[in-house]
Amino acid sequence: MKTFDTQSQQVIELAQFCSDKGWLPATSGNLSVLVDKDPLQVAITRSGADKQRLKREDILLINEKMEVLGDSPFRPSAETRVHIELYRKYGCGSILHVHTVFNNLIGELYGEQGGVQVKGHELLKALGHWEEAAEIFIPIVPNWADLDKLGQSVAEHAIHDVPAVLVRAHGIYAWGDTPDAARRHLEAVEFICEYLYRLRLVRG
Ligand SMILES: CSCCC(=O)C(=O)COP(=O)(O)O
Ligand SMILES: [Zn+2]
C-alpha cells in the first residue's frame, strides 16, 4: 500500500541514486513519487534541500494545487508546477528532474530545432521502443523563468511514448509509471545524451 511514508522513502532512495551519479549538483534537481491519484497527492522534495543528504522532513506531501498537506516550515520545490502538469497529463507514478553536463550540452546543440532525433540505438528499448530501427524525438523546451509557463511548456511538448523532456541550459524531466521505470528512463536518456555528444566530437 502506498503511503506518504513509503513514497517518501522512495524519493530518498531515488535522490541517493541520482546524487551518487553526480546528477544533483549544488542542491539542484527535484524528485517526486505519487502517493494518491484521486485526489492527486504527491511526495516531493522541498525547495533548496541538499539532495545528497535528504532527510524525512525534506519530503513534503502536496496536493494538485501545490498546497503542503500537514505541518512543515518548508516550501515544496520551486518547480512543483512542472511535476503537477506531468502527473495531470500522464498519470505517471514518479518524476525525476536532474541537471547534468551532458543533458545541458544536448540542450544547447539541438535546442534551436526543438529537440533531438535518436535512431536505431539499443537503449531505446529501455524507453519502451523495441521495434526494429526504432526512432524517437526527445523534445527540448526553453528555460522559461515563469515556472507556470515552464510547467505548461514541458507538458505541452512531451510526446506520448517518450518519457523525457530536456529544458535548455537547465536540465531534464523524466518520468515513469513507477519509481523504477522513471529511473530507468532517466538513465537511458542520460546515456543517450552523453553518447550523442561524444559521437559529435569524434565525428567532428
Ligand atoms: C539551485 S538549482 C536552481 C533551481 C533548480 O533548477 C532546481 O532544480 C532546484 O530547485 P528546488 O526548488 O527544487 O530546490
Ligand atoms: Zn532545475
Is 169 near ligand 1, meaning CB less than 6 Å away?
no
> Beta-carbon neighbour count of residue 12 at 10 Å?
21
Residue spans of the domains in the chain: they are: 4-203
Is 143 near ligand 1, meaning CB less than 6 Å away?
no
Tens-place pLDDT, residues 147-165: 999 999 999 999 999 999 9
Query: CA–CA separation, 6 vs 184, rounded Å?
Result: 20
Look at ligand 1, atom 4, and give the residue with the nearest C-alpha. 28
ipTM score of complex: 0.99
Q: What is the pLDDT of residue 71?
A: 96
Q: What is the Å distance from ligand 1's center to 203 Cα?
A: 34
Q: What is the pLDDT of residue 76?
A: 98
Query: Is residue 204 pLDDT above 90, yes or no?
Result: no
Is 32 near ligand 1, meaning CB less than 6 Å away?
no
4-203 homologous superfamily: Class II aldolase/adducin N-terminal domain (3.40.225.10)
Q: Indicate the angle between helix axes 147-157 and 80-90, nearest 10 degrees.
A: 30
Is 79 near ligand 1, meaning CB less than 6 Å away?
yes
The DSSP letter of residue 93 is S
Q: What is the pLDDT of residue 33?
A: 99
Is 85 near ligand 1, meaning CB less than 6 Å away?
no
Q: What is the pLDDT of residue 72?
A: 98
Q: What is the pTM of this model?
A: 0.98
C-alpha cell at 60: 513534503
Q: What is the pLDDT of residue 42?
A: 98
Q: What percent of the chain has pLDDT over 70?
A: 100
Look at ligand 1, atom 3, and give the residue with the nearest C-alpha. 28
Query: CA–CA separation, 187 vs 72, rounded Å?
Result: 32
Tens-place pLDDT, residues 8-50: 999 999 999 999 999 999 999 999 999 999 999 999 999 999 9
Tens-place pLDDT, residues 53-105: 999 999 999 999 999 999 999 999 999 999 999 999 999 999 999 999 999 99
CA 47 to chain centroid, in Å, comes to: 15
Look at ligand 1, atom 5, and give the residue with the nearest C-alpha. 28
- Whether residue 163 is preceded by a cis peptide bond, meaning omega within 30 degrees of 0, is no
**Burial group, residue 68, by CB count within 10 angstroms (0-12, 13-18, 19+):** middle
4 confidence band (pLDDT: 50, 70, 90): very high
Grouping H, G, I as helix, E, B as strand and the rest as coil, residue 107 is helix
